[in-house]
Amino acid sequence: MLKQFTKYVSQNMLGMLGMSLYILADTYFISKAVGSNGITALNLVLPLYNLIFAIGAMIGVGSAIRFVIERGKKNPDADGYFFHALICAFFISLIFVFIGIFLPDKLVALLGGDAEIIQTGTSYTRIFMCFSPFFMWNHICNAFVRNDKNPSIAMAATLFSSLFNIVFDYILMFPLGLAMKGAALATGFSPVVGILICCIHFFSRKSTIKLIPVLPSIKKLIYSCQVGVSAFVGEISSGVITVTFNMIILNLAGNTGVAAYGVVANTSLVAVALFNGIAQGSQPLISRSYGRGEEQNVRSLLKMALTTALGLGFLLMIFIFFSAPAVTAVFNSEHDLQLAAYADSGLRLYFIGFLFAGINIVGTAALSAVESVKYAFCASISRGFVATIFFAFVLSACFKMTGIWLAFPAAEFATMFITLSGLLCFTKQKGGMYHAKD
């Protein structure tokens, strides 16, 4: 079990790290090509990425969990989950495509952009939103490949799509001189690469995934999304935090403050990606053991996942404490002293939250994997919406920018009690799995 856990988690952490790197690459290259206005525009539209990714992750992870559990129960309907996930994601993505084509400038303005930022960010927003179907399909394909016992291909798909994005970021933005449009095109085509690599598994003899056409069903979609909600909130929480913080920071420190938060937010994406790697790496193993009624294996996997998350959170906090100025300098090409002061302080305070966020990210994924929907939903909603927004407004009113940075640790700490309560409730159950009930 430890060998399997190490394989799945390490490969998924590497894959998720690669996925987060293309956001950092966008930030870095945009800071070089466009300056702080480009970072501000990117940070304002970043929640749109989070929303698109979150929907794809919820449908993908939720459908893949149902696929594994229903197959464990020998349910013949299990084979229809893959096609159903793809077709539902396509119809939902059309909403984003429509907005991207016809309303990108109004969307940037709605997110807080002034006239200068709207001019900078409109073309970027229009282009990447037109690729919404591919972003969602990439999440779905990756989740099914991972749950079909092939984490190596899932990792390769994520890493090579990220590498493609980074390389073409540079080519399109600098030699070809496309600036923000180039960054958007590189980002848009990167999930296509990921999907093509996932197809290596789908067409292999090892694959048990079948593309069986089924009619879209809202009931089936909701049934899948129930156990995918933690994946949704794991992605969307960054967007909600970003929107809330952007609005507050614009009033407290203007565009410079938002640019500083862009440094903090984009750096934190790497940390979140690592924890998502633990969560997504352990989830197939937990779901498989749960589907077979192997309660002791489920508990062992939970212990390994949470211990790994806690250790990683501590290491990240220590690293950022000593290296915050160096991290800020990478994105501060104009050497703005005020931006550096905000970002250095923000990184150190914000990253305290990952001591608790790791437990929440991994814990809610585990709760979804064992169909503990109520606790997974409550913890996810708390960290992604309720607690974060509450502490952002309260602490910023009391401590200004320092309060903004402390809102994330406070929200994750409060949510941790919900997550641990759910895990404790599950581990105390005896014979609580469906095999035992049968």
Q: Rounded to whole angstroms, what are the CA distances from 337 to 260, 328, 381, 401, 407?
A: 11, 11, 37, 16, 24
**Residue 323 C-beta-side C-alpha neighbours within 13 Å:** 10
Summarised one tens digit per residue, pLDDT across range 203-252 is 998 899 989 999 999 999 999 998 887 778 767 777 777 788 888 998 99
CB 297 within 8 A of CB 289: yes
263 touches 340 (CB < 8 A): no
Describe the crossing of helices 132-147 and 81-102 by its angle, rounded to 10 degrees: 160
The whole-model pTM stands at 0.74
Work out the average pLDDT over 385-397: 93
Q: Distance of CA 90 to CAs 83, 84, 86, 131, 226, Å? A: 11, 10, 6, 11, 19
Sign of CA dihedral 337, 341, 346, 351: positive
| pLDDT tens digits for range 345-388 | 999 999 999 999 999 999 988 998 887 888 988 998 898 789 98
Contact by Cβ (8 Å): 85, 217: no
**Alpha carbon distance 301, 20 (integer Å):** 25
- 180-207 per-position pLDDT tens digit: 999 999 999 999 999 999 999 999 988 9
Mean pLDDT check: name the lowest of 49-63, 152-166, 222-236, 250-264.
222-236
In contact, 211 and 82? CB cutoff 8 Å: yes
